[in-house]
Structure 1
Amino acid sequence: MRESEHCQVVTATDSRAVAETLADTAVAARLAASAQVAGPIRSTYRWQGDVVAAEEWRVTLRTTVTRYAELEEHIRARHNYEVPGIVCMPIVAGYAPYLKWMAAETKER
């Protein structure tokens, strides 16, 4: 199997407005070809020794592996969490025209 050129990046925040800003600004900056905001979702995690259950909004962004580092930096600069969860997962297969579109939409201009 060849190395993936495309990836999906996921983060979550406690604010719909922040989630929408992350999505909108990443696409506008061509760091992501598309973004989806879903929520509210219920998240459970351990933070500073406590188990926390919280309502959050998930942001899923689709981009290329070469744009990931810039996208991560973009998210970190605009995120409202001290330690935001930012996870990058390779897209190992997909509809070829869609993947081609993703690459075209995330090229630096």
Structure 2
Amino acid sequence: MPTQYTVCLVTVGDEKTAAIIAQGLVEGKFAACVSVVGGLTSTYRWQDKLEKSKEFLLLIKTRKNLHEDVEQFVKRNHPNKVPEIIFLDVEYGSREYLDWLGANTMFSSNIPKDKIGNIP
């Protein structure tokens, strides 16, 4: 049975950017938890050229109804012109963990999009 939660995947090129995004999302209660996974190598095509880069993967655990806020925050704090931002719905999870996730995110956001700003 589908839940009201989602996991957002975001890649960044350095640990500092990963920490800024993770801390800002959790402090703002847009995410209950952000796990940062290092040691990734991504191969992709950009502007018709094959690229390869070392990256960090952020696993952002949040509510489905906060996806626009999460996306806006990431875009404002990400150095890439087209950052990877992919949401995967959580179909099932332990009740205790999902209860914790819900208790540690805002229920809904009515913050104007231009007020979801950068973290220094």
Q: What is the TM-score normalised by the length of structure 1? A: 0.94
- What's 2:37 paired with? 38
Q: What SS does the corresponding residue of 1:30 show, helix, strand or coil?
A: coil
Q: Deviations over 1:41-78 (max 9, x none)?
A: 10011100011111011111100101111011011100
- What's 1:27 paired with? 26
- Distance across 2 between alignment mates of 1:18 and 1:32: 16
Q: Structure 1 unaligned segments of length 5 or more: list them.
A: none
CA contact (8 A) 1:30 1:108 kept: no
Q: Structure 2 unaligned segments of length 5 or more: list them.
A: 109-120
- Distance across 2 between alignment mates of 1:4 and 1:86: 20
- What's 1:63 paired with? 62
- What's 2:101 paired with? 102
User: Counterpart amino acid of 1:51?
Assistant: L
- Distance across 2 between alignment mates of 1:26 and 1:79: 13
- What's 2:3 paired with? 4
Q: What SS does the corresponding residue of 2:24 show, helix, strand or coil?
A: helix
**After TM superposition, what 4+ stretches of structure 1 lie above 6 angstroms from structure 2?**
none
- Distance across 2 between alignment mates of 1:67 and 1:52: 32
- What's 2:46 paired with? 47
Aligned length: 108
- Distance across 1 between alignment mates of 2:50 and 2:95: 42
Q: What SS does the corresponding residue of 1:35 show, helix, strand or coil?
A: strand
Say yes or no: does 1:14 pair with 2:13.
yes
Q: CA RMSD in A?
A: 1.3
| Percent of pairs with identical residues | 25
- Distance across 1 between alignment mates of 2:12 and 2:96: 31
User: Counterpart amino acid of 1:85?
Assistant: E
